[in-house]
Amino acid sequence: MAFPTPVEPRRELYPEIEPFASGWMTTDGVHEIYYEESGNPQGRPVLVLHGGPGGAVNPGMRRYFDPAQYRIIMFDQRGCGQSRPHASLENNTTWTLIEDIERLRERCGVDKWVVFGGSWGSTLSMAYAITHPERVLALVLRGIFLLTRKELHWFYQDGASMIFPDAWERFVAPIPEAERGDLMGAYYKRLIGDDVADRERCAVAWSSWEGETVSVEGPNARPDKFAEPEFAVAFARIENWFFTNAGFFPEDGWIVKNVDRMRHIPCWIAQGRFDVVTPIASAWSLHRAWPEAKLDIVADAGHASSEPGIVDSLVRATDWAAGL
């Protein structure tokens, strides 16, 4: 399996395209899942998994793929984006999301597909590949997140705060000092509480903390959506729910401990050297356990998928996966 050599100038996104199909998929419970398809209906299927958990798909995600080569399938995970009901935590776990992925694969008539995901999307991609390795042609991952206690402590308690002290002050502001020894727990009480105004205020603070730390350019580069209450409530509630429950994994470090189930799958990892949200240590430990995977360290990037070096790596990766 040969990986392409980087070339200059850097690759850019493919042109904007519109979906050729979209709709809502029922599940075995209250959730209805929004999904869409774009690109070439006869192309290589690729499943796009958004981040968070609690984020949503957006039109820009279609642009990482050659629309002549790929049938691009995206969906909003439970409680996210256009899926219904909004911000719902009911039966919302890693394993029910994997059930939704399989339900969508069957609905779309796909046998195997490339799976593409960044941040939490990388977590879910790997959990799916470990659970259903026979359905994955290749993995294209960005900003590796193994969802371990160490990573959560770094970002939500002690670590990233030393890199972004200005944004950290805004993150802790809604929480009384007496409760700041367990910030995830303090936020959890408020995000699932009955006080709507307090829930919204805390959701915006939680969401904005991540938005202000995604780029090497710092807080001023925060995408606008992270401060929008409708997006923030779903993002913060679902993200905190998953993290409080350790991703619903059976044990800490579950992904690396089960890496042998997916080691035969071709994999490309794009990782920003200065990623503060999902630090490079996680990608490094994964690569040490999975040396066959390509680890492309982008020297001038943080976490955001929109940074030029990350775009370049991901577009080269999807072109590579199209030719497998």
Range 11-37 average pLDDT: 98
pLDDT tier at 2 (50, 70, 90 boundaries)? low
Contact 246, 149 (CB under 8 A): yes
Tell me if residue 303 is catalytic.
Answer: yes
Q: According to the model, what pLDDT value does residue 99 have?
A: 98
Cα end-to-end span (Å), the chain = 8
Residue 274: CB atoms within 10 A of its CB come to 16
Of 119, 161, 305, 313, catalytic? 119
User: What is the spatial distance between Cα 235 and Cα 228, in angstroms, rounded to a whole number?
Assistant: 10
Range 279-304 average pLDDT: 98
Mean per-residue pLDDT over the chain, rounded: 97
Q: According to the model, what pLDDT value does residue 308 have?
A: 97
Q: In Å, how far from its chain's centre is CA 186?
A: 24
Which residues, in sequence order, are CB contacts of 113 under 8 Å at separation 6+? Answer: 44, 45, 46, 47, 73, 105, 135, 136, 137
Share of the chain above pLDDT 90, in %: 98
- 209 pLDDT exceeds 80? yes
- Token pair 């990388």: residue: 122
- 1 pLDDT exceeds 70? no
Q: According to the model, what pLDDT value does residue 7 have?
A: 65
Interhelix angle 196-211/183-191, nearest 10 degrees: 140
Phi–psi pair at 34, nearest 5 degrees: -75, 135
Share of the chain above pLDDT 70, in %: 98
Q: According to the model, what pLDDT value does residue 8 have?
A: 78
- 6 pLDDT exceeds 70? no
Range 266-276 average pLDDT: 98
Q: In Å, how far from its chain's centre is CA 113?
A: 18
Range 117-143 average pLDDT: 98
Range 14-21 average pLDDT: 98
User: What is the spatial distance between Cα 229 and Cα 220, in angstroms, rounded to a whole number?
Assistant: 19
Range 115-124 average pLDDT: 98
* Integer CA distances (angstroms), 26 to 55, 63, 71, 82, 110, in order: 20, 27, 22, 13, 18
Range 16-34 average pLDDT: 98
Tell me if residue 287 is catalytic.
Answer: no
- 133 pLDDT exceeds 90? yes
Residue 112: CB atoms within 10 A of its CB come to 14
Of 76, 275, 296, 312, catalytic? 275
* Integer CA distances (angstroms), 276 to 61, 83, 163, 256, in order: 22, 29, 8, 20
Which residues, in sequence order, are CB contacts of 138 under 8 Å at separation 6+? Answer: 114, 115, 265, 266, 267, 268, 321, 324
Per-residue pLDDT reduced to its tens digit, 67-92: 999 999 999 999 999 999 999 999 99
* Integer CA distances (angstroms), 117 to 2, 52, 151, 228, 240, in order: 21, 11, 18, 23, 19
Range 276-305 average pLDDT: 98
- 4 pLDDT exceeds 80? no
> 3-class SS at 274?
coil
Of 215, 303, 312, 313, catalytic? 303
Range 205-226 average pLDDT: 96
Task: Give the chain's domains with CATH numbers.
Answer: 21-148+248-322 (3.40.50.1820), 149-246 (no CATH)
Q: According to the model, what pLDDT value does residue 130 have?
A: 99
Tell me if residue 119 is catalytic.
Answer: yes
Residue 18: CB atoms within 10 A of its CB come to 9
Contact 37, 24 (CB under 8 A): no
As a three-state string, the secondary structure of 197-210 is HHHHHHHHHHHHHH
Per-residue pLDDT reduced to its tens digit, 307-321: 999 999 999 999 999
Per-residue pLDDT reduced to its tens digit, 147-173: 999 999 999 999 999 999 999 999 999
User: What is the spatial distance between Cα 311 and Cα 307, in angstroms, rounded to a whole number?
Assistant: 6
Contact 216, 228 (CB under 8 A): no
